[in-house]
């Protein structure tokens, strides 16, 4: 059992995650936060370990909502996957999990990995055999033959086949379910401009998930599939792009759907932070992932930014999501979502910090136990040297300290 602790810090994020409480201490009992008090009022308890982190800035442990732990985060991740065997992929996933934890990620949602990799990895971490964040897995994503991520997905073409996959994933321990509503850029045999399922099939899948309390996430890049997902009420839209079916036109964004997203309470994972990292990588002259052969007309960064700026202004809940494992989206870079939300979408700094902590917890339905430094919450937190509310880039890849479940990782 984790020893009870008192953690002192000069700056601790408050209960509303919109400011600091100064010179306070976090009391941790049995892996949970029992109180946050002024350092002058710390009780003399010999059974508690007192740790002073001095001049530091403490925020809740980072929650990453979009990761693929089996991938390399390089421009050639697709090719590498096919050149590795199952044992090599598992070893890579272990290293990726530890890397993310050391960067301050204490909870991570894996949105698509082979069942025989992600569920054993979660078990090893839960049992303390391996180091990594708390994993919330979907297991294999639902897709079609030769569709997006077919090479590790569960193939299903109609509602009854989809329901069987969902039941199997839940039995294995999935906390969320992911369906590939459109093709994807990562898979050369799929077309991101085309819906992989009919509206009726998506709606029936949503209804099935709602009937048994299952959380459904949908990868969608095409205009048609995005509209299908919004109208059917998928709980979490992944990417949410608007690729036009014609190859000579990049996007066909329909502003009228923003209100429906808000009214239905749908969370949107923009993965815009991956674009920020790609953009900065391009400026350095680094090699980039090749374009999908089915896409001739790529949207500009500006067009993507403008869509998500508009959605944010309309009240759509945009969550922090990096798409870890894809090109340039390395496993220690979850904070880049906060960077992108400030620098590209215009969030204030605290809103951006919330977007990688409590907002993500709400999106994953774990907000009662994670996402805040507050009484009754899991003792997950990360400490930085400089104030991220002044400069969002003070959320660095190598924080000063990380605590997960009351255990001081370093």
Q: Residue 292: its pLDDT value, please?
A: 76
Written as six digits, the tokens of 166 are 């969902």
Spatial contact of 237 and 230, defined as CB atoms under 8 Å apart: yes
Q: Any residues with CB less than 8 A from the CB of 149 and at least 6 apart, and which?
A: 112, 141, 143, 180, 184, 186, 187
Q: Residue 291: its pLDDT value, please?
A: 78
Residues of the chain with CATH 2.30.40.10: 5-60+371-408
Chain segment 67-107, per-residue pLDDT in tens: 999 999 999 999 999 999 999 999 999 999 999 999 999 99
R_g of the chain computed on alpha carbons? 21
CATH superfamily for 62-364 is Metal-dependent hydrolases (3.20.20.140)
CATH superfamily for 5-60+371-408 is Urease, subunit C, domain 1 (2.30.40.10)
Q: Residue 296: its pLDDT value, please?
A: 67
* pTM, to two decimals: 0.96
Q: In which residue ranges of the chain is pLDDT below 50?
A: none
Q: Residue 293: its pLDDT value, please?
A: 73
Q: Any residues with CB less than 8 A from the CB of 151 and at least 6 apart, and which?
A: 81, 82, 187
Q: Residue 246: its pLDDT value, please?
A: 76
Q: What is the rounded distance in angstroms from the CA atom of residue 278 to the CA atom of residue 321?
A: 15
Q: Residue 41: its pLDDT value, please?
A: 86
Residues of the chain with CATH 3.20.20.140: 62-364
Q: Residue 298: its pLDDT value, please?
A: 73
Q: What torsion, rounded to 10 degrees, do the Cα atoms 183, 185, 186, 191 define?
A: 40
Q: Residue 45: its pLDDT value, please?
A: 66
How many CB atoms within 10 Å of residue 205? 26
Spatial contact of 172 and 179, defined as CB atoms under 8 Å apart: no
């Amino acid at each position: 059992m984790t020893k009870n602790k008192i953690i002192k810090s000069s700056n601790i994020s408050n209960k509303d995650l919109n400011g600091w409480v100064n010179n306070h201490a976090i009391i941790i009992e049995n892996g949970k936060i029992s109180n946050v008090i002024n350092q002058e009022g710390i009780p003399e308890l010999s059974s508690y370990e007192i740790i002073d982190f001095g001049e530091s800035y403490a925020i809740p442990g980072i929650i990453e909502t979009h990761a693929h732990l089996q991938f390399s985060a390089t421009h050639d991740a697709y090719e590498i996957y096919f050149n590795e065997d199952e044992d090599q992929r598992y070893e890579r996933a272990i290293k990726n999990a530890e890397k993310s934890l050391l960067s301050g990620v204490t909870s991570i949602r894996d949105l698509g990995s082979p069942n025989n990799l992600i569920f054993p990895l979660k078990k090893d971490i839960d049992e303390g055999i391996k180091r990594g964040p708390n994993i919330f897995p979907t297991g294999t994503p639902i897709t079609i033959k030769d569709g997006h991520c077919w090479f590790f997905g569960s193939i299903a073409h109609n509602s009854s086949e989809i329901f069987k996959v969902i039941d199997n994933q839940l039995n294995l321990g999935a906390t969320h379910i992911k369906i590939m509503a459109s093709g994807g850029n990562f898979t050369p045999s799929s077309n991101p401009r085309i819906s992989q399922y009919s509206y009726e099939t998506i709606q029936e899948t949503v209804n099935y998930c709602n009937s048994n309390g299952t959380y459904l996430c949908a990868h969608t890049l095409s205009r048609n599939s995005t509209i299908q997902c919004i109208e059917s009420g998928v709980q979490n839209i992944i990417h949410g792009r608007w690729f036009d079916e014609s190859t000579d036109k990049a996007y066909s964004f329909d502003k009228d759907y923003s209100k429906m997203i808000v009214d239905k309470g749908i969370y949107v994972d923009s993965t815009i932070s991956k674009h920020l990292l790609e953009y900065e990588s391009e400026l350095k002259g680094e090699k980039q992932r090749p374009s999908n052969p089915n896409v001739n007309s790529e949207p500009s960064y500006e067009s993507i930014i403008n869509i998500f700026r508009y959605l944010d202004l309309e009240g759509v809940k945009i969550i922090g999501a990096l798409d870890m494992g894809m090109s340039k989206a390395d496993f220690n870079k979850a904070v880049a979502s906060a960077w992108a939300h400030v620098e590209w979408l215009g969030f204030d700094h605290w809103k951006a910090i919330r977007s990688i902590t409590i907002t993500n917890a709400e999106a994953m339905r774990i907000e009662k136990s994670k996402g805040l430094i507050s009484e009754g919450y899991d003792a997950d937190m990360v400490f930085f040297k400089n104030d991220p509310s002044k400069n969002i880039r003070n959320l660095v890849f190598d924080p000063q300290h990380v605590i997960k479940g009351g255990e001081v990782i370093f």
